[in-house]
Structure 1
Amino acid sequence: QNETMLEQVDAKPMLKTLTQPEFRWPVVGDELGGSYQWSAGQWSLLRTLAEMRNQHSKSVLIRLYVSPDDKNSSYYIIKLDQASLSLPSREDYITNTSSALAYRAALLSLMVDTAVMLGAPHKAALAQMEKALAFETKLAQILIPYENRTSENMYNKYTLSRLQRTIPQFDWLGFVRAVVESKTDPARSISSAEPVIVRAPQYFKDLFKLIDATDPRTVANYVQWRTVFSRITTLSRRFLYRYLDYAQVTTGATSLTPRWDKCVNYVENSLVYATGRLFVNTYFQEDKKHMMEELIEGVRWAFIDMLEKENDWMDQQTKTRAIDKAHAVLAKVGYPEFILNDTYLNEDLKQLEFNETDYYGNVMQTLRFIAQSDLAWLRKSVPRTEWFTNPTTVNAFYSSSTNQISKSLSYGAIGVIVGHELTHGFDNNGRKYDKNGNLDQWWSNSSVTAFNEKTQCMIDQYNRYHWKEAGLNVRNQILNLLTSQWLNK
C-alpha cells in the first residue's frame, strides 16, 4: 500500500462518507455545515442501520444475518439478534471495577478526540459523546447476558407481520427489505409473511423503549460513532496512533501493527478463497491431508470406544444416539475442492476492482462484498460440505448446525485439538443438536440431569480458583466448557 498517499488524503475518505445522508455525524456536522449537517427531520434510523449493514458490514443495535434454521438445518433463514457494543463485554459498562472504569474513560476519550480530529469543537464533542456513551451504557443493561442466551431461549420463530405487531415502534419489513432484497437476485424478495428467528425478543422490546426515550441526536451520535470507530484504522497515522492509545488500555497493545502486516491480514480475511488458493498452491502437501483424515478417524474411534466402555452416567438409549452422532460428524481437512476451480473463484471476485492509490475505497469494496456473503444463501438449501474458514487458518472448529469439524493443516499436537472439537458436539450447546444439526432434545432427562451435575462440579471448581495478585476469583468458565465430564470420575 502507498503509505505516502494515505498520509496525503488523511481524513478525506472518512469525511466523504460523513456527507452521505445515512452517515452524517451530528457532532461533526454542526461545525462543518453544508452536506455534513445532520437534521433530525431528515434522519432515518432504519436507513442508517440498513446502510451500515450493507456498506460497512457493520451491525449496530440490530444484527441481521442469514444462517441455517436451527430446527430445520437444511434451509437458511433470516435471524435478528442484539448487536455488540464498542467495548468488548457487557460487564465493562455495568461494573465499577478498576479495569471497567479505565475502559470507559479510554473509550470516551477516543470518542471525543476522534470527533475533534474530524472537525468538531472539543467542548461540543465532550458534551455530546458523554450522552452517547450514557446511551450505550443503557444498551449494555438491556443486553441479554450470555448465560441466558441458550439455544432454546434464542429460537423464537416469527413472521415479520407478527414481529411488527409485537414491537410496532420499528418498520421491520422495511428494514429487512433494505438489507436483504437484491435487484440481481429476485428470489430474495421479502413479504410480511417472511419467517425470521428473533433471538432476543425482550432486548428488542427494551431497545425501542430506550430509543423512544432518548433524544434522536444522541441516538444518531452513537450509531454514527460506531461507523467511524470501525474505520479508524483505515485512515492516516495520526488516527492509528490515537487508536493505539485506546488499545493500550483495553488490550495492552504497545505498538502499531506494521501497515504491510495489516494489509496482508486484511486481504487474507476478506478474500478467503483467493488467498486460500495461493496458500494451497505454494505450501499444501496432499499427503498431509490424507494423514489428517486418518488421524481424525482415529480420534473418532477413540471417542466412541471411551463412550461405550468408560462412560457410566449416560443411559444406553442416549449413548446409542451419541455414538450415531459421533459417526455422523463430517470432517473437513485443509481446503474445499472448489478453490482449485479458477472459473468459480473468478466469478466470485468479478465485482471487485481494486486501486492501489485508494486504500479506503478498497476496504469499502471488500466490506460490501462481505456484507452479501451470508445474504446470498437465502432461498438455497444448506450444503453440509460448505466451508466457513480460510485454508490459511491454522485452527479447528465445530459447527452445531452442520455437525462438522474443519481443520486446516497443522504440525503441532493436532490430535488433542481434534478431540477438543469433537467433544463440542456433546457439550452444553452441541448436545442440543442432533446428528443432522437440528435443535432437538435427543438426550433422556436422566442423562441431562447427570450432565448438569458434572458441569456444575467443574464450574464450582473454577469458581474456587483465586488470583492472588488481582484479588479476584476466576469467573464462571461456562463460555467454552468442554465435556471433560466424559472422562470425569
Structure 2
Amino acid sequence: MKSLVFLLLVSTVSGGYRSSYRKERARDGGVFKFLVSGNETAIKQALSTCLTPGCVKAAATVLEMIDMKVDPCDNFYDFACGNFLKETTIPDHKSETGSFQMLADKHNERLRKLFETSPSANEPKIFESVRNYYKSCLDQDNIEVTGRKALLDMVGQLGGWPILEGNNWEDKTFTWQDFDVKANQKGLDTGRIIKFEILANSENVNMRMMHVVQPNLGLSREYMINGVNNKEVKAYFRYMVDLAVYLGATKEIAEEELKESLLFEIKLAEISLPRELLRNATALTNPMIVKEANKLFPGFNWTEHINNIFPDLEAPLQSNEVINLKVPLYVKRIAEYLPTVPARVQANYLIWRTIKDLVLFGDKTVQQIDLKYINILTGESLVSPRWEICAKVVAGLNGNLEFYFKEGSLTNAVGAMFAKEYFPESSKLVADEMVINIKREFKIILDELEWMDDITKKKAHVKVDKMTPHIGYAKEILDNNLVNEFYQGLELNSLDFLRNYLNLTSFIKKYNSKEFRKPINHKSWKIHGGAAIVEAFYGVHQNSLIFPAGILYGVFFQSDRPKYMNYGAIGSVIGHEITHGFDDQGSQRDEDGNLVNWWEPETKQKFLEKAQCIIDQYGNYTVDINGTVYNLDSINTQGENIADNGGIKEAYRAYKRLIRKEGEELSLPGLQYTPRQLFWISSAALYCKVARDNQMINTILTDYHAPYRFRVLGPFSNQKEFSKDWNCPLGSAMNPEKKCSVW
C-alpha cells in the first residue's frame, strides 16, 4: 500500500497565505514533510485551513456577505449580512431579495430548462401536459387576442356582472349558493362567503372530513379592518374599478356600485375571526351533524349545497353525517348579516373576486392594472419576466403555494421531472444522517428539561420517535407507471392558457372528492411527491418532517463544504421543523397528528409561560419605516419564533456532539473565524435579505414569520453558546441578561 506525502510551502503574503502542493509517492510510514518560509502562526493557520474547492467557494460567499466593521456582539445580523445589505439591489420586478430568494430564482431557472427541453423516450405522459401548460402560459400573443374576451365570456357564463349589465341584470334569481355551484362547475374557486373544504379530521387524522371555514379575502384582513381611507384599501378599490372599466363598465357606475362591494368585503373582514384566534385548534374543532349546523344559517340547505359543489363524492353527503364548523361564530354572524345585503351587491362582489383570480390570464393591459395595485402593497414597479411567472404557475409556486399542496395538482409530475435531473442520491444520504442526529439531540434536550414532568416527557419522546422524515423526494415519483396512473384522465393540451388552467383545477376538484371517503395514508408518495420547491415543512396532521430536493442546495446545503456550514444552515432548518411539532400549535397534537391534549396541566402551564417569554421578547422588537414605528406581531409569529430558537439550539448541539466523535474540522481560507463561529455565520446567512418598505409593512402585518433580521437577533441572543463562541460580554445586545428558552 502506498501513501501520498505532501510538501507544503507556506509563505506570508499581505496578511494572507499562498500555498503550493507537491505530491510524492512514498512507502508506508512516509513522513508529512514541510518546507516552510514564514512565521509559526502562518504555519498553524495553514494546517488548520480547508482548501478544497467547496471550502474556497464557501469562504468567498462568506466574505461577500459579512461586514467586519460591525461588532458581532452589537448586532450579529448586520455583521453577518452587512456587506450583502449594502451591495444588493432589489430587481424592479421584486419586492425583496436575499439568500433564500436568490436560491429560489436559481430554482426557477432550473424549472424553466425542464419545461423548455424536448421530451425524452418513455417519459410519463403527464410531462407533455406540463410542458404544454407552460407553453400556453408563455404564448402572450394568443393571450393578447383572447384574454379580454375570455374574461367576458366567463362573466357571462356566471350570470353576468351587474355593473356591466345595468338594468338588464335580474336580481330575483340570484343567490350566492347558485353562483358558487356555477363557478365550481367551471373549475373556478368558490367559498367567498362561506367556504367548504375537504381536510383531515383533526380528531382522527386518518380520515377526511368536510370543514366549514371563513373565507379568504381579496385583501388581507389586517388592511381591510382599517376601512376605506387606508392607503392599501384605497389601492384595492382603484384596482376593482380599473378592472371593471377595462371590461366595459363606465367609471362612474363602477365606482358607485363597487363601493358597496368594498363595504361588503370590509364587513366580511370585521365579522371574520382574527388570525390570533385561529391558532387554537381545539376552538376550531366543532363537529356536528349537518342538519344541526343548518340551524345556524336558517334558509340555507347545507346538505344540498355541499353535494352540489362536490358532485363527485362516491356517495352524496347525508344530513345526518358529521362535519366540522371551524368558526361557528362567523357562520352565525354571516347568517344574520347577509339578508341585509342586496343581491346586486353580492353579485358584484363575487364576480369581482372571480375576475381578480383570473388576472393572470389577462393581456398586458390587465397586467399593468395589476402591477399598479401590487406596487402599493409591495413596491414592485415592473411585471416579472413571463417565463418566471409561467414556471412558478406550473410548479404551483406562485401566490400562497395553494396549488403546490393540492392533492391532484402537478406537484408530483414536476417533482418527478426535477428529481430525475437535479437531485443526487448522495445529498439525500447526508441529509438523512443530519435528521437522525438532530432528532436525537432534541430527545437529549427533552431529558434535560427541569420544567417538564416525566409523564409528559415520555409522551414527547414518543412524538419525536414517530416523526417521519421525507427527504428529497419519494422514490415512487420515478416510477413512470405509477405517475401515469396517478394522472390518468388529465390532459392539458389546449393552446389556451385559461382552458388548461380550468382543466387542471377541475381535475383537482374531482380527485379530492373521490378521495373523501377513503382513509388517508400519511406516508403515501402521492402526498409527498413534491420535490421541486425551495422550502421545508412540518406536517402537523402527519407528524412528519418534509425537506424537498429543492432546498438541499446552495446556501442551505452543499455536500462538499464543512459540516459546520451545513449544520448551521440546513441543520437549523431541520431543527426548526422538529420544533414545530412542539410550538404553540404543534404541541396541541399527539404523535399521530391527532388533536389530543397529552400534557400534564402543570407542565402545560409552564410551557405557556416559556412561550410568553418569546411573545414578550419579539413584541418589543420594532421597525421604523419612514418615521412610522411598527411593533412585531409576536402572537401570530410565536410558532415560527419558537421553532427558530429551538432549531438553532438543536443543530448547534448536534454539531458539537458530532465533532466530539469525529474531531474538529478545518476552518475556511481567508477568514479568521473558528468552525463554531462559522456555524453561526452560516445560519445567519439564510436570512440575509433586503426588502422594499411596502413589503416590509406587509410582512409585519400579515406574515407568520418575523422579519428576517429578527430571525437572527432573537434566537442567537437567547443562546449562551453563541455568546461564548463570540466572547460577547454579559449585558451586550447579543448577550442580554434575560434570555428566553422554550426547548
- Count of aligned pairs between the two proteins: 476
> Is the contact made by 1:61 and 1:83 (CA closer than 8 Å) also made in structure 2?
yes
Name 1:294's counterpart in structure 2: 433
Question: What are structure 1's unaligned runs of at least 5 residues?
Answer: 32-36
Q: CA deviation at 1:132?
A: 0.1
| Structure-2 separation of matches of 1:372 and 1:250 | 35
Q: AA paired with 2:273?
A: I
SS at match of 2:268: helix
Q: Is residue 509 of structure 2 the alignment partner of residue 371 of structure 1?
A: yes
Name 2:257's counterpart in structure 1: 128
> Is the contact made by 1:169 and 1:208 (CA closer than 8 Å) also made in structure 2?
no
Q: Is residue 223 of structure 2 the alignment partner of residue 64 of structure 1?
A: no
Greater Cα offset, 394-403 or 468-477: 468-477
Within 5 Å, give how 1:123-162 maps onto structure 2. 123-149=252-278, 150-162=280-292
Q: CA deviation at 1:345?
A: 2.0
Q: CA deviation at 1:404?
A: 0.8
SS at match of 1:374: helix
Match of 1:217 among 344, 355, 370: 344
For each residue in 1:223-266, what CA deviation from the matched residue of structure 2 results, as whole angstroms up to 9, or x when unmatched? 11101100012110000011000000012222111222222211
Greater Cα offset, 146-155 or 262-271: 262-271
Q: Is residue 30 of structure 2 the alignment partner of residue 30 of structure 1?
A: no
Match of 1:473 among 617, 631, 635: 631
Q: CA deviation at 1:396?
A: 0.9
Q: Is residue 177 of structure 2 the alignment partner of residue 46 of structure 1?
A: yes
Q: Is residue 150 of structure 2 the alignment partner of residue 13 of structure 1?
A: yes
Q: AA paired with 1:419?
A: G
Greater Cα offset, 261-270 or 65-74: 261-270
For each residue in 1:321-368, what CA deviation from the matched residue of structure 2 results, as whole angstroms up to 9, or x when unmatched? 101100010111111232122233223333333345311211221222
The two structures, once aligned, show a CA RMSD in angstroms of 1.9
Q: Is residue 380 of structure 2 the alignment partner of residue 253 of structure 1?
A: yes
Match of 2:612 among 446, 456, 478: 456
Within 5 Å, give how 1:179-198 maps onto structure 2. 179-182=309-312, 187-198=314-325
| Structure-2 separation of matches of 1:23 and 1:82 | 24
> Is the contact made by 2:207 and 2:519 (CA closer than 8 Å) also made in structure 1?
yes
Within 5 Å, give how 1:433-444 maps onto structure 2. 433-444=589-600
> Is the contact made by 1:232 and 1:239 (CA closer than 8 Å) also made in structure 2?
yes
| Structure-1 separation of matches of 2:198 and 2:605 | 33
Match of 2:222 among 91, 94, 103: 91
> Is the contact made by 1:62 and 1:81 (CA closer than 8 Å) also made in structure 2?
yes
| Structure-1 separation of matches of 2:363 and 2:178 | 29
Q: AA paired with 1:341?
A: D
| Structure-2 separation of matches of 1:443 and 1:126 | 55
Q: AA paired with 2:377?
A: T
> Is the contact made by 2:447 and 2:457 (CA closer than 8 Å) also made in structure 1?
yes
| Structure-2 separation of matches of 1:119 and 1:188 | 43
Match of 2:577 among 405, 416, 421: 421
> Is the contact made by 1:56 and 1:371 (CA closer than 8 Å) also made in structure 2?
no
Name 1:34's counterpart in structure 2: none
Name 1:344's counterpart in structure 2: 482
For each residue in 1:359-398, what CA deviation from the matched residue of structure 2 results, as whole angstroms up to 9, or x when unmatched? 1211221222233343332111110213256210121111
| Structure-2 separation of matches of 1:317 and 1:61 | 45
Q: AA paired with 1:315?
A: D
| Structure-2 separation of matches of 1:392 and 1:120 | 42
| Structure-1 separation of matches of 2:537 and 2:467 | 12
Q: Is residue 543 of structure 2 the alignment partner of residue 403 of structure 1?
A: yes
Name 2:242's counterpart in structure 1: 113
**In the superposition, relative to structure 1, how do residues 80 and 389 fare at CA in structure 2: closer, same or farther (>3 Å)?**
farther
| Structure-2 separation of matches of 1:388 and 1:145 | 31
Question: What are structure 2's unaligned runs of at least 5 residues?
Answer: 1-137, 397-408, 557-568, 650-739
Q: CA deviation at 1:288?
A: 1.5
> Is the contact made by 2:615 and 2:638 (CA closer than 8 Å) also made in structure 1?
no
| Structure-1 separation of matches of 2:489 and 2:574 | 37
TM-score when scaled to structure 2?
Answer: 0.62
Name 1:313's counterpart in structure 2: 451
| Structure-2 separation of matches of 1:8 and 1:166 | 47
Q: CA deviation at 1:57?
A: 3.1
Greater Cα offset, 237-246 or 68-77: 68-77
Q: CA deviation at 1:467?
A: 2.5
**In the superposition, relative to structure 1, how do residues 388 and 254 fare at CA in structure 2: closer, same or farther (>3 Å)?**
farther
Q: Is residue 442 of structure 2 the alignment partner of residue 303 of structure 1?
A: yes
> Is the contact made by 1:79 and 1:198 (CA closer than 8 Å) also made in structure 2?
yes
**In the superposition, relative to structure 1, how do residues 388 and 104 fare at CA in structure 2: closer, same or farther (>3 Å)?**
farther
SS at match of 1:10: helix
> Is the contact made by 1:181 and 1:190 (CA closer than 8 Å) also made in structure 2?
no
Q: CA deviation at 1:71?
A: 0.6
| Structure-2 separation of matches of 1:123 and 1:232 | 22
For each residue in 1:112-158, what CA deviation from the matched residue of structure 2 results, as whole angstroms up to 9, or x when unmatched? 11111111111111101000000001110000111222101110001
Greater Cα offset, 69-78 or 266-275: 266-275
Q: AA paired with 1:281?
A: K
| Structure-2 separation of matches of 1:53 and 1:9 | 22
Q: AA paired with 1:304?
A: K
SS at match of 2:207: strand
| Structure-1 separation of matches of 2:479 and 2:574 | 28
> Is the contact made by 2:290 and 2:303 (CA closer than 8 Å) also made in structure 1?
yes
Name 1:173's counterpart in structure 2: 303
Q: AA paired with 2:598?
A: W
**In the superposition, relative to structure 1, how do residues 333 and 58 fare at CA in structure 2: closer, same or farther (>3 Å)?**
farther
Q: AA paired with 1:472?
A: Y
**In the superposition, relative to structure 1, how do residues 465 and 443 fare at CA in structure 2: closer, same or farther (>3 Å)?**
same
**In the superposition, relative to structure 1, how do residues 470 and 388 fare at CA in structure 2: closer, same or farther (>3 Å)?**
farther
**In the superposition, relative to structure 1, how do residues 130 and 105 fare at CA in structure 2: closer, same or farther (>3 Å)?**
same
Name 1:73's counterpart in structure 2: 205
Name 1:271's counterpart in structure 2: 410
For each residue in 1:94-127, what CA deviation from the matched residue of structure 2 results, as whole angstroms up to 9, or x when unmatched? 2269xx8111111111111111111111111110
